[in-house]
Chain A
Amino acid sequence: MLKHILTIIKNERKQNIGLWIELLIVSVFLWYIVDNVYVTLHNYYKPLGFDTEHTYIMHLGLLNESSHEYVKDISTETAVGYLHTALERIERNPMVEAASISQNSSPHIGSNRSMTIYRDTLQTRYGVLNRTVTPDFFRVFRYKSVNGSSDELVQALERNELVLSTDVVTELFKSDELPVGQQISFSKSDSAQLYRIGAVSDVVRYDNFSNWNSYFAQRMDNDFLERFSGEWVSSLEFCVRVNPEEDHNFIRRFRQDMTQQLRLGNYYLGEIQSIPANKKAFQKDDINDLKMRMFIVLFLLVNIFLGITGIFWFRTQHRKSEIGLRISLGDTPKEVLKKYYIEGLLLLTAAMIPTMIIIFILGREGIFETYLMPFTVGRYFIGFLITYLLLALMIIFGILIPARKAVKVPPAEALRDE
């Protein structure tokens, strides 16, 4: 039967070459986009390691000297005291479950600080994200230690020890070493200050689209707060986790409750933002990109479907008499359809082989992005599997619609044409 179908393909070669070229072009692009979407989504759906549901970020503002409420000569100590009071008052609000102060540490804001970590002769290859926070930060965002508890991380910071993420630990410690209790430093010199590791945190990712997982956390102390008590106070992040039942119209209600309570010295309650909304904004460009790519996939598939339907429409109409003859000689309509399917799929397979070679060469040349996933055999074939299945589905639908109609024509009528 295969030989027979091959003969048919040969007889129709003029049309088939057009179809083959189309399938070839489309399958190369489709592989590229499918691979891209696959890699992105594979990364996207890995657990983030933190939870931003029902969390908000707020900032304090500093009064301008020209304001009539401006208080002159507030000492830095008093100012730092006000910052502590502000945090306490936020924590005491009945809607709030947990609250923390941090700097460049809250998720999805796009500003980071990073440092290299040293241990004896070892050092991290890239910068490690610096999370300078008050201990409850881990409760607000539900970071977990490798043992699955947030409290362990909170207690480590309360003891003024560092928290390291697993990525950093695997870089600096052998697998049989116990990192907790060991010491690391932030500069290479022998006289560098050493810091004790208090807990190891589970993987915490930067966001859904990147691959930056290494961080360390240190406690935000009064020296640090002092530096930010002046005009830079707006870069301190006050993050809160809100009781889920209270999380409706929170920004307005919180403002109503707290505006006066948070007028401390020259500080006032500035902007409040929902972190899930910030996340949406922060990842908007990436999400748009992803959606656009999916639309192009859809567009290509619909086109293949239309093209196949169009070509097989003529082909089956042209071969009406052939179909009639086959059916009258004992073929069932099902078998006739099957022959068409095989014909279409053979064409697809013939187009996929050069595609595989092209992609292989491009992959070896390093054309494809390997930041999120190395260009492995698995990735290569998963891309092809998805591409092949998608195209095969379109071809089967594209053949089914015109061919079914032709197969249904009574054999006698078809034969009369002959």
Chain B
Amino acid sequence: MLQQYFKQAWRLLKENPVLSAISIIGTALAICMIMVMVMSHQVKNAPYPPETNRDRMLYVKWMSSREKGSPNSGSSNGSMSYAFAKACFKTLKTAEAVAIVSPFTPSAIASIPGQIFAESYDKMLTDEDFWRVFDFSFIDGKPYTKEDVDAGLRKVVISEKTALKTFGTTAVSGQRILIDYTEFIVNGVVKDVSPVATAAYSQIWAPITTTVLPDGGEEGIQGVCRVYILAKSKKDFSAIKEEAEVLRKRYNDATTTYEAFYRKQPDTHFVYIHRKWANMEPDMKAIVQQSAIVLVLLLIVPAINLSGMMNSRMRKRLSELGVRRAFGATRGNLLSQVMWESLLQTLLGGMVGLILSYIAAYALKGIIYENSDMAYQLGEVTLNPASLLSPAIFLYAFLFCLLLNVLSAFIPARSVSHKPIVDSIHSK
């Protein structure tokens, strides 16, 4: 029976190639559009190395401080100091690991001792837990340890590209390197990181204790650090947030005039990528709403299109369906036949749409991956766009096909199957 349906459906498609093409292209375009949107969402949210743990991470990008007891007076907004981060986050017991980083260092000049000419690279200061929170793959050597950080030893981890450009090879652990005219020892070399990984990206990583960090602001609360928290599992998020609140209150009790507050942080990854400014919370409701409206628009317009076309097609086939009913086919029979037909059509559309999305993934690279944050960085986007077209996204697209299919075929098919048989046969 199923085979019969497919044969018939195929015939029908071939009978009217232009119209079939129109509805297939319509579906394909809608799917491509949705895929592009999903991909640009994926690239910011899906886990991939070195940010493999995005789904169980919490972020504190900015924080604020204000005078105690006057919540409506002005606030100072920015990042936190190293001492504050150690007191209020490093001690979290509910978390698996807490990394303190300072991403604000200007790009560094790297060279081999004795060489006059130097190149500049992006540099980031981290503590030892950074290497636990993120999943870097080391080509050579290993990360620096807690002892290294505590002692402020001048050891660095550099990226493959930095190693190749400075030394001409990647097997350089133990070698001396000049960074901003200060001597460091290369402790490890990691694979290049794409700037798409906004939290982990850099080209040179050095222990946070190797530089005197400028501390400033109110009672040393604010400075130049951010905190990345890795939870054992998603379920611990609320426990971590509660503990962070407790630690914050305890810290505030010890200060004299200023108090720290977080504006609803720590953030999950999704909120974190939308938190742009230090002095206000991102309006997540509006962001989600806007995406929803666009998605609905992308869904409705092709659906109206397809159902309009289906409607006309049904009108043409009225007599055929009438004859079939007169010979004993049930309404259910007819409906399922029509559904199979349009399913075939939307599946074809889905396939074309997937091919189009592949093309779009490359053609729209700039829009899908890049943002102002990372466009400043020196590294290149090394991510392969096709890698984003994972089975999960295929499933999204397929579900979308199915929804379109149901919307566009079911309604006209039902109304046709309810027509009196005589009328159907009589129609021309």
Task: Give A210-249 as 1s and 0s: 1 = Cβ < 8 Å from B's Cβ atoms.
Answer: 0000000000000000000001001000000000000000
CB-contact partner of A68 in B23, B180, B183, under 8 A: B183
Q: How near does chain A come to B291, taking the closest CB pair, in angstroms? A: 11
A sample of 18 more A-B contacts (CB under 8 A), given A231-B214, A314-B313, is A18-B307, A18-B308, A21-B304, A61-B106, A61-B180, A63-B180, A63-B182, A67-B181, A69-B181, A259-B118, A270-B106, A271-B120, A284-B370, A285-B371, A288-B367, A307-B304, A310-B305, A311-B308
B327 close to chain A: CB less than 8 A: no
Give the interface SS of chain A, mostly helix, strand, loop or mixed: helix
Could you tell me which residues of chain A, from 47 to 67, have a CB within 8 Å of some CB in chain B? 59, 61, 63-64, 66-67
Residues of the B chain whose Cβ atoms lie less than 8 Å from the Cβ of A288:
366-367, 370-371
**Which 6 residue pairs across A and B have the least CB separation, nearest first?**
A281-B375, A314-B312, A307-B305, A67-B182, A310-B309, A22-B304
Q: Which of B261-269, B294-302, B331-339 contacts A (4 or more CB under 8 A)?
A: B294-302
For A291, list chain B residues within 8 Å (CB).
Answer: 366-367
Q: Interface of chain B, helix or strand or loop or mixed?
A: helix
19 inter-chain pairs at a CB distance below 8 angstroms, sorted by A residue, are A14-B311, A21-B304, A59-B106, A64-B180, A64-B211, A268-B180, A268-B181, A270-B107, A270-B120, A271-B109, A280-B375, A284-B372, A285-B372, A300-B297, A302-B29, A303-B302, A310-B19, A314-B315, A318-B316
Q: Does A26 have its Cβ within 8 Å of any Cβ on chain B?
A: yes
A-chain residues with CB within 8 Å of residue B366 when the two chains form the complex: 288, 291
Q: Does B246 sit at the interface, judged by CB under 8 A?
A: no
Contact A22 B19 (CB under 8 A): no
Q: Is A195's CB within 8 Å of the partner chain B?
A: no
Task: Report the Cα distance A291→B1, complex, angstroms.
Answer: 48
**Cβ contact within 8 Å between A284 and B375:** yes
Closest to A22 in B: B304
B-contact bits for A64-99, CB 8 A (1 contact / 0 none): 101111000000000000000000000000000000
Residues of the B chain whose Cβ atoms lie less than 8 Å from the Cβ of A313: 18-19, 22, 312
- A299 to chain B: which residues have CB within 8 Å? 29-30, 33, 298
Chain B: which residue is nearest A268 at the CB level?
Answer: B181
Please indicate the chain A residues that have their CB under 8 angstroms from the CB of B311 in the complex.
14-15, 18
Residues in A279-304 with C-beta less than 8 Å from chain B: 280-285, 288, 291-292, 295-296, 299-300, 302-303
Tell me the B329-383 residues at the A interface (CB within 8 Å).
364, 366-367, 370-372, 375-376
B372 touches A281 (CB 8 A): yes
Proximity bits, B200-216, A CB within 8 Å = 1, else 0? 00000000001100100
- In the complex, which residue of chain B has the Cβ closest to the Cβ of A401? B18
Whether B298 and A310, one on each chain, are in contact in the complex, defined by CB atoms closer than 8 angstroms, is no
Bound: A272/B120 CA distance, A: 8
A61 touches B182 (CB 8 A): no
Contact indicator B309/A311 (Cβ below 8 Å): yes
Residues of B within 8 A of A295 (CB): 33, 36, 364
Q: Within 8 Å of chain A (Cβ to Cβ): is B116?
A: yes
Assign chain A's interface to a size class. 35 or more
Count of residues in B whose CB is under 8 Å from the partner chain: 49
Whether B301 and A300, one on each chain, are in contact in the complex, defined by CB atoms closer than 8 angstroms, is yes
Q: Which residues of B contact A146 (CB under 8 A)?
A: none
The verdict on B50 contacting chain A, using a C-beta distance below 8 Å, is no
A303 touches B312 (CB 8 A): no
Q: Which A residue sits closest to B313, measured CB to CB?
A: A314
Q: Is the CB of A61 within 8 A of B109?
A: yes
Give B61 Cβ to nearest chain A Cβ, in Å. Answer: 16
Residues of the B chain whose Cβ atoms lie less than 8 Å from the Cβ of A283: 372
Q: Which residue of A lies closest to B181 (CB)?
A: A67
How far, in angstroms, from A21 to B307 measured CA to CA in the complex? 12
- Choose among B36, B302, B313 the residue with the greatest number of A CB atoms under 10 Å from its CB: B302
A314 touches B33 (CB 8 A): no
- The CA-CA distance from A29 to B308 in the complex, in Å, is 20
The contact of B312 among A15, A255, A259, A269, by CB within 8 Å, is A15
In the bound complex, how far is the Cα of B109 from the Cα of A131, in angstroms? 29
- Say yes or no: B316 contacts A303, CB within 8 Å: no
Residues of B within 8 A of A314 (CB): 19, 309, 312-313, 315-316
Say whether A278 faces chain B, with CB atoms less than 8 Å apart: yes
Query: What residues on B are CB-neighbors of A402 within 8 Å?
Result: 18
Cβ of A22 and Cβ of B308 under 8 Å apart?
yes
B181 touching A63 by the CB < 8 A rule? Answer: yes
Is B26 among interface residues, defined by CB-CB distance under 8 A?
A: yes
CA distance A82 to B110 in the complex (A): 23
**Whole-angstrom distance between the alpha carbons of A283 and B316 in the complex?**
53
| With A59-B106, A314-B312 as contacts: A259 and B117 at CB distance below 8 Å | yes
Residues of B within 8 A of A303 (CB): 26, 29-30, 301-302, 305
The answer for the CA separation of A303 and B31 in the assembled complex, in Å, is 12
Contact of A22 among B36, B298, B305 (CB under 8 A): B305
A189 CB within 8 Å of chain B? no
Which residues of A in the span 14-42 have a Cβ within 8 Å of any Cβ on B? 14-15, 18-19, 21-22, 25-26, 29
How distant is the Cα of A417 from the Cα of B154 in the complex, in angstroms?
Answer: 91
B107–A271 contact, CB under 8 A? Answer: yes
Kindly state the separation between the CA atoms of A271 and B316 in the bound complex, as whole angstroms: 71
CB-based contact B308/A19 at 8 Å: yes
Q: Does B25 contact A (CB under 8 A)?
A: yes
A64 to B30, CA, bound (A): 56
Q: Please, which residue of chain B has its CB at the minimum distance from the CB of A235?
A: B106
Q: How far is the CA of A26 from the CA of B298 in the complex (A)?
A: 10
- Bound form: Cα–Cα A318–B317 in Å: 12
What are the residues of chain A within 8 A of B154 when measuring CB–CB? 66
**Chain B, 141-183, contact with A by CB distance < 8 Å: what is the 0/1 string?**
0000000000000100000000000000000000000001111
**Shortest Cβ gap from A216 to chain B (Å):** 24
Docked Cα-Cα span, A416 to B107, in Å, equals 81
CB distance from A29 to the nearest CB of B (A): 6
A318 surroundings in chain B (CB, below 8 A): 316
Whether A147 is near chain B, meaning CB under 8 Å from some CB there, is no
Minimum distance in angstroms from A36 CB to a CB of chain B: 12
- Asked whether A25 lies within 8 Å of B116 as measured between CB atoms, the reply is no
CB nearest neighbor in A for B27: A306
Q: Which residues of A contact B106 (CB under 8 A)?
A: 59, 61, 234, 270-271
- Contacting residues, chain A, for B309 (C-beta < 8 A): 307, 310-311, 314
Q: B116, A309: Cβ atoms under 8 Å?
A: no
CA distance A278 to B30 in the complex (A): 35
With a CB–CB cut-off of 8 A, which chain B residues contact A272?
A: 120
Query: Which residues of chain B from 33 to 81 have any CB-CB distance to chain A below 8 Å in the complex?
Result: 33, 36
Q: A25-B300, A256-B117, A285-B372 are in contact. Are A310 and B308 (CB under 8 A)?
A: yes
The answer, among B23, B117, B298, for a CB contact under 8 Å with A255, is B117
Measured CB to CB, the closest approach of chain A to B336, in angstroms, equals 24
Chain A residues with CB under 8 A of B313: 314
A292 to B154, CA, bound (A): 46
Cβ of A121 under 8 Å from chain B: no
Instruction: Flag whether A260 is at the interface (Cβ < 8 A).
Output: yes
Please state if B312 and A310 are interface contacts (CB–CB under 8 Å).
yes
Nearest-neighbour CB distance to chain B for A408, whole angstroms, equals 15
Give the chain B neighbours of A231 by CB distance below 8 A. Answer: 214
